[in-house]
Amino acid sequence: MADESPPQAQPQAHEQNFYRQYLQSTAPDGSMTIREIVSPNLLDHDAAVAAEKQAGYTFQNFVDPARMTGVQTTAAPPAQAQPEPPLLPSAVVPTSGTVPAGYVQPPAAGATAQPGSSPWLNLLPPAMATVGPLALSIAQPELGIPLWLASGTLAGLGGGTGEAIREKAAGEELSPGRIAGVGATSAATDIAMGPVQKYVVNPAARFVMGKLGRVLGAAEDLGPVLTSEGTTITAPAASAPPPPLRVTELHPIDLAAAQSKEQLNTGIQELAARATAEERPAIAAAWVATVRQRAAEAGDPITYMRAAYDGLGEATQTALFGPGKAAFERMLNTAWSGAAGELTGLAERGTAGGIISTGGHYGAQYLGIPALGVPTATGIRTAADLTAPFAARGMLVSPHAARFGAGLSRVGGVAGPAAANLAAQSVAERARQLGVPTF
């Protein structure tokens, strides 16, 4: 066994303050190795053990440097410089002011913000391309040109303007070619969405909304006939005496003064026969308000209103409600009255819809095919069908509920197409940015 004392170490020729020593150690894999150690101090046995242990080796003994002449040794790897941890706010001792509340990692050298990288800025062209067509669909003006052409023109102007604003806000140079390209894409997308809305989006929305959508649409179609609260009307102009007699005022008629349902219906039939087409909606509204008041005192208001409507007769019904006759009958026939057959129908509809929705969801997962939103659409349709009878009942017995339902239908009729158009404009703009051919 070689001597374990360190005198065999020799100072380096070029630096007298450093010493070279050779340490024979066992590597973690069991192999024997000799490592060269250069240090300003001589290592004794304990220091050599500690140094080799830190490097992952087991020290055995020192090796005479004379024996190592011309032998390749394994040099100890240089110590890795540890990066300094970032300065945290809690370690800052302020000389004035307050301690910083947060720490922000400084940006890498040479990093610069990319212009136009904000998703909110990228949303400007599609959003502004939707505003003009939306306003046009609400106003429905007479322009002398097809509305689809006017809508496409407004969409193109809005999309181009939005792109110009986006470039300006992002700090980019205004590009007339890019602005024109965005405007053209917006106009083409809006025009293409016309038939898509008519033949795809609207039928899909009607399917999903089911009976509830039809009931809300009926409330919108009936308008004041369902939302009016007054029971008094002005006598029809046909009831005035003919010339040369001069009529200064037509007397008001309060339908609520009728003593019975039969007397009310008889009076309405006479009024409807004498009234003009312009006067009949007011008579229908007063009749609905009167029957609504009387139905509130009945144990089953919906059944009372159905019987009162049937008592008018087909001719009077058509004369009073005109084009809105089908909408009013849909409301009456859908409204919940609490009959046993209605409860059974709701239970069957809810069960069938739940089975289809749940089965479609898990069936698609089992087969590994996309569900394409069918389970969700079926679930929404089922919920809408179950809600419709109670919504119709509320709108028949309450003018406030009728106004809310009509307003909800109007908002949905405008917001739904606008949302679909915004989605189409966003997809087209994103495709244009990615270089995908659009229009």
Relative to beta strand 32-39, strand 252-254 is: unpaired
Confidence at residue 82, expressed as pLDDT on a 0 to 100 scale: 61
Candidates 352, 370, 277, 377; CA nearest to 322 is 277
Q: Answer yes or no: are the C-beta atoms of 272 and 283 closer than 8 Å.
A: yes
* More confidently predicted of 189 and 246: 189
Examine the domain organization and report whether 290 and 345 are in the same domain.
Answer: yes
Confidence at residue 156, expressed as pLDDT on a 0 to 100 scale: 93
Confidence at residue 173, expressed as pLDDT on a 0 to 100 scale: 87
Most confident residue range from 76-80, 114-118, 305-309: 305-309
| CA quadruple 387, 390, 391, 392: dihedral sign | positive
Examine the domain organization and report whether 267 and 309 are in the same domain.
Answer: yes
Q: What is the three-class DSSP state of 406?
A: helix
Instruction: Answer whether residue 17 is part of any domain.
Output: yes
Candidates 74, 80, 163, 170; CA nearest to 126 is 163
Instruction: Answer whether residue 112 is part of any domain.
Output: no
Examine the domain organization and report whether 192 and 288 are in the same domain.
Answer: no
Q: Answer yes or no: are the C-beta atoms of 260 and 304 closer than 8 Å.
A: no
Examine the domain organization and report whether 52 and 140 are in the same domain.
Answer: no
Residue 13 clears pLDDT 80, i.e. is over it: no
Instruction: Answer whether residue 300 is part of any domain.
Output: yes
**Contacts for 395 with CB less than 8 Å, ≥ 6 apart:** 215, 219, 226, 331, 401, 402, 405
Examine the domain organization and report whether 58 and 192 are in the same domain.
Answer: no
> In the listed set 207, 227, 259, which residue is the last one of a domain according to the structure?
207
Examine the domain organization and report whether 363 and 393 are in the same domain.
Answer: yes
> In the listed set 361, 376, 397, which residue is the last one of a domain according to the structure?
397
Examine the domain organization and report whether 218 and 360 are in the same domain.
Answer: yes
Query: Which of 37-41, 99-103, 256-260 shows the lowest mean pLDDT across its residues?
Result: 99-103
Alpha carbons 7 and 22: distance in angstroms, whole number: 12
**Contacts for 287 with CB less than 8 Å, ≥ 6 apart:** 255, 264, 268, 320
Instruction: Answer whether residue 86 is part of any domain.
Output: no
Examine the domain organization and report whether 190 and 266 are in the same domain.
Answer: no
The pLDDT confidence band at residue 263, using thresholds 50, 70 and 90, is confident
The pLDDT confidence band at residue 116, using thresholds 50, 70 and 90, is very low
Average pLDDT over residues 57-66: 80
Examine the domain organization and report whether 150 and 57 are in the same domain.
Answer: no
The pLDDT confidence band at residue 404, using thresholds 50, 70 and 90, is very high
Examine the domain organization and report whether 180 and 231 are in the same domain.
Answer: no
Examine the domain organization and report whether 193 and 295 are in the same domain.
Answer: no
User: Residue 278 is part of which domain span?
Assistant: 209-240+251-397
Residue 326 clears pLDDT 60, i.e. is over it: yes
Q: How many domains are there within the chain?
A: 3
Relative to beta strand 32-39, strand 74-75 is: parallel
**Contacts for 353 with CB less than 8 Å, ≥ 6 apart:** 378, 379, 381, 382, 383, 385
Confidence at residue 214, expressed as pLDDT on a 0 to 100 scale: 92
Which amino acid type is present at position 229? Answer: E
The pLDDT confidence band at residue 374, using thresholds 50, 70 and 90, is confident
Instruction: Answer whether residue 114 is part of any domain.
Output: no
pTM of the shown model = 0.60
Instruction: Answer whether residue 143 is part of any domain.
Output: yes
Instruction: Answer whether residue 48 is part of any domain.
Output: yes
What is the share, in percent, of the chain residues with pLDDT greater than 90? Answer: 23
* More confidently predicted of 398 and 239: 398
Q: What is the mean pLDDT of the chain?
A: 79
* More confidently predicted of 255 and 166: 166
Instruction: Answer whether residue 123 is part of any domain.
Output: yes
Residues in the chain: 439
Examine the domain organization and report whether 309 and 341 are in the same domain.
Answer: yes
